[in-house]
A and B are shown apart, each in its own frame.
Chain A
Amino acid sequence: MKWISLIPVVGVGVLLLFAAQDFPEWGDPQSPASQSPVASHFINNTGVDTEVPNMVTAVLADYRGFDTMFETVVVFIAGIAVLAILKGSGGRRRGTRRAYEVEAEPDIIVTHTVRLMVPVIQIFAFYVLAHGHVSPGGGFQGGVVMGASFILVALAWDLDHALVRMSLPRCMAIAAAGIIIYAGIGFLSMFLGGEFLDYAELEKVLPVSREMARYHAMLGVEIGVGFTVTSIMFALYANLSTEGRLKGGL
C-alpha cells in the first residue's frame, strides 16, 4: 500500500517540477502576477478610494467583501456542523476515568497568571480588530485572539468556568449576530441607493465623506467577522475537547 501510493505522488511531483521551470524568477517585478492590472489597481487606488493604509484589509473587506462574507458563513456553518455531529453523542462513555485523568483543583499559580493575562489578551484582540486598517490585523485575527482568551480560561480552570461567561447558546447567537451585522451593512447600503456591500452610500447616514464612509463601514464589517470567528473558535474547542458533552474535558 505504501509503495503503491508513491506512484501518484511521484507522478504529481515530476509534473510540478517540470512546471516549476516555467515559473517566473524569484521576486521578479515583471512577473505576470505582479504586472496584472487588478493588483496594480488595488495598490494605486486603495488610498484614493477608501483612505485605508493597509491594502490587504481594504481588498478583503471592501473590494472583495462579498467573498469575505461567505467565507464567514463557511466558518459559521462549520461550527454548526460540529455541534450537530457531536450533540448528544458522548453519553455512551463509561463512568470509569482514564488512567491519565486525575481529579485536581486548578493550580493557584496558573489561575492567577491567567487572571492577569486574559484582560490583556482581550484588549489586544480589540486593538488588532480596530487597528486592522493601519497595521496587520483585522476581523479574523482579532476574533481568533479573542476566542483564544476564552480557551485559556477553559484550560486554566475547567470548561464550566468558561461556559458561565460564554455559554453555547450565547456562542451561537453571537456567531449569528456577526453574520447579521455583516449582511446588515450590505443591505443598508443597498437601501440607501447603492449596490449590496457598496459602502460609499453610507455617507448619507454617517457624517463623513464617501471615502471615510467606506473606511468606517469596513470597521463594522470586521467587527461582524470578529464576532463570528470568536464564538465559533470557542465552540469548536468546547465541543471537541468533551465530545459534545460540555462537561469535564481537557
Chain B
Amino acid sequence: MGLELFNTFILLLLVVTALAALRVRDLITAAAVLGVYSFLMCLLWAEMGAVDVAFTEATVGAGISTVVLVATIFNLKRKSND
C-alpha cells in the first residue's frame, strides 16, 4: 500500500511538472523543469524495477539533455511567446 501511494504521488507530480515545463515562458526555466520531470521519471522507473533504464534516464535525460538545452537557449532568445 505504501508503495502504491508513492507510485500515485509520483505519477501525479509528473503530470504537474510536464504541464509546468510547457507553460513557462522563460525557456531556461522550462529546461530546468524538464530536468525535474526527468528525475521524477527516473525515480518511478527505479521503483518499478527497471534499474538500468532509470540509470540511463538519470544520466542522459536529466543530465545531458538539460545541459544541451541550456547551451542552445544561451544562443537563442530566452523568452518564448507561448
Contact = CB atoms under 8 A, between A and B. Distances in A.
In the complex, A touching B (Cβ < 8 A): yes
A148 B68 CA distance: 11
B52 A148 contact: no
B64 A241 contact: no
B75 A241 contact: yes
Contacts, number: 52
Given A237-B71, A243-B75, A136 B59 contact: no
Contact of A250 (B56, B63, B70): B70
Residues of A contacting B: mostly = helix
B71 A249 contact: yes
A125 to B, nearest CB: 10
Contacts of B59: 141, 144-145, 148
A151 B56 CA distance: 17
Contacts of B54: 136
B52 A136 contact: yes
A66 B60 CA distance: 22
User: What size tier do the contact residues of chain B reach?
Assistant: 10 to 19
B30 to A, nearest CB: 16
Interface of B: 51-52, 54-56, 59-60, 63-64, 67-68, 70-72, 74-75
28 contacts: A54-B52, A57-B52, A136-B54, A136-B55, A137-B55, A141-B52, A141-B56, A144-B56, A144-B60, A144-B63, A144-B64, A145-B59, A147-B64, A148-B63, A148-B64, A151-B67, A233-B64, A236-B64, A236-B68, A237-B64, A237-B68, A240-B72, A241-B72, A241-B74, A242-B75, A249-B71, A249-B74, A250-B74
Given A57-B52, A140-B56, A236-B64, 19 more contacts: A136-B55, A141-B56, A141-B60, A144-B56, A144-B60, A147-B64, A151-B64, A151-B67, A236-B68, A237-B67, A240-B71, A240-B72, A241-B71, A241-B72, A241-B74, A243-B75, A249-B71, A250-B70, A250-B71
